[in-house]
A and B are shown apart, each in its own frame.
Chain A
Amino acid sequence: MAGNFISRGFRGRRREDPAVAGRVPPGQYLTPDFPVLSAGPTPRTPLAQWDFAIRGAVQPTQRWTWDEFRALPSETVTVDIHCVTKWSKLDTVWEGVSVDTLLDGVETDGAYVTAFSDGGYTTNLPLADLQDGKAWVAKWVRGLEIMPRDRPGFWESLGYHDYGDPWREQRYQGD
């Protein structure tokens, strides 16, 4: 990955804290804050208008109001976040509804998902990555659209990587 290029005189700051050893992907830096990176003003939806939907190649289409969504069983999970813009935050705590719960009873033959939220943001990923205890929905996501073929979402259409595995440094298209 480094090739032959060396930056003359650069030493850098080595991460020696054993608590984070091996947990920060190459090229990332740790942040204690929560940097926000949206393209425009932060959208705000009144709770009375909030809903969450699963639609697309599914039978039947599902929809929950905020009260119905909050009544679903939720879990508290602690995860590390790695953002394509190179910041990482460890041990963030989230409360959310498991996607397995949301997909319970839903029939689909689609293999890809577009997750959408307020403000027109979408992101695409394989359905398999959301199943079997790997994904939860917190309040900023407004729905999942299940599709037979992968389709780039908002940031992916603007040059960010379709899959985005931080451990393989997949930040931009072509990585």
Chain B
Amino acid sequence: MTLRLESDAWPGHLPGQHVDVRLTAEDGYQAQRSYSIASTPVARHLDLTVEEIPDGEVSPYLSEELRPGDRLELRGPIGGYFTWTEANGGPLLLVAGGSGVAPLMSILRYRNAIASNIPVTLLYSSRSWEEIIYREELDRLNADPATRVIHTLTRSHPDGWDGYTRRIDAEMLADAAGGPEPGRLAYVCGPTRLVESVANFLVALGYPTDRVKTERFGPTGPGG
């Protein structure tokens, strides 16, 4: 789900960064979690992508208890490494697993907002069509000639689906990455296992290791 927040004190952020949310109970007990910022730096609000973890301590509170008008304590923006602005260059390959699409969404929206010509491909792995986050918006972004959105659905797919239906592998990445252009840059975000294997495939495809940026949402990483 998307949590939309407003703040007069927000200092701005770079696409790809995250915030720490801190919850405090009446007796002083606290819990903190990190959430990726999905909105662009030029938007007037701050969108956080919250994946609902059934057993979680914080995400059920954010998705079920929180009401419009409630206040949240935030710290950020955080993250000096997994960020993109036009100065970083491209062509861009964004690879997402599940809720890992959140920081990549900020990058995509930002690139769109500044009308950048840098080509971008998003390769996005979800379990099913219904679980694709930001699906309609991604369809709209896909209409831009320099933007390509490729979905793969790993557990179930709709009738008539002619896209990928398996976990991301070397062949799929080779298709998404295109040719070995100088300056190409990849951002990979999602569960640890996916990030690890995709990063290794990209290095094997010839990406320099410093042109593959990763952010891992472990089983107990951001969210929960």
Contact = CB atoms under 8 A, between A and B. Distances in A.
A78 interface: no
Interface in B7-56: 20, 22-26, 28-34
Interface string A19-49: 0000000110101010111111111000000
B30 A33 contact: no
B24 A6 contact: yes
Interface stretch (A10-18, A93-101, A133-141): A10-18
B202 to A, nearest CB: 7
Nearest to A8: B70
Interface in B190-224: 192, 196, 199-200, 202-203, 209-210, 212-214, 216, 218-221, 224
Contact of B210 (A8, A40, A159): A40
Nearest to A41: B199
A42 B196 contact: yes
Contacts of A39: 81-82, 213-214
Contact of B32 (A27, A33, A37, A41): A27
B72 interface: yes
Contacts of B29: 12, 14
B134 interface: no
What secondary structure prevails in chain A residues at the interface with B?
loop
B80 A159 contact: yes
Given A29-B31, A42-B196, A158 B81 contact: yes
What secondary structure prevails in chain B residues at the interface with A?
mixed
A31 B219 contact: yes
B65 interface: yes
B212 A9 contact: no
Contacts of A10: 23-25, 31, 61, 65
Contacts of B212: 40-41
Contact of A41 (B73, B78, B202): B202
A9 B65 contact: yes
A172 interface: yes
Interface of B: 20, 22-26, 28-34, 57, 61, 65-66, 70-73, 75, 78-82, 192, 196, 199-200, 202-203, 209-210, 212-214, 216, 218-221, 224
14 contacts: A2-B30, A7-B61, A9-B65, A12-B31, A13-B31, A29-B224, A35-B192, A35-B221, A42-B200, A86-B32, A157-B80, A158-B81, A159-B79, A159-B80
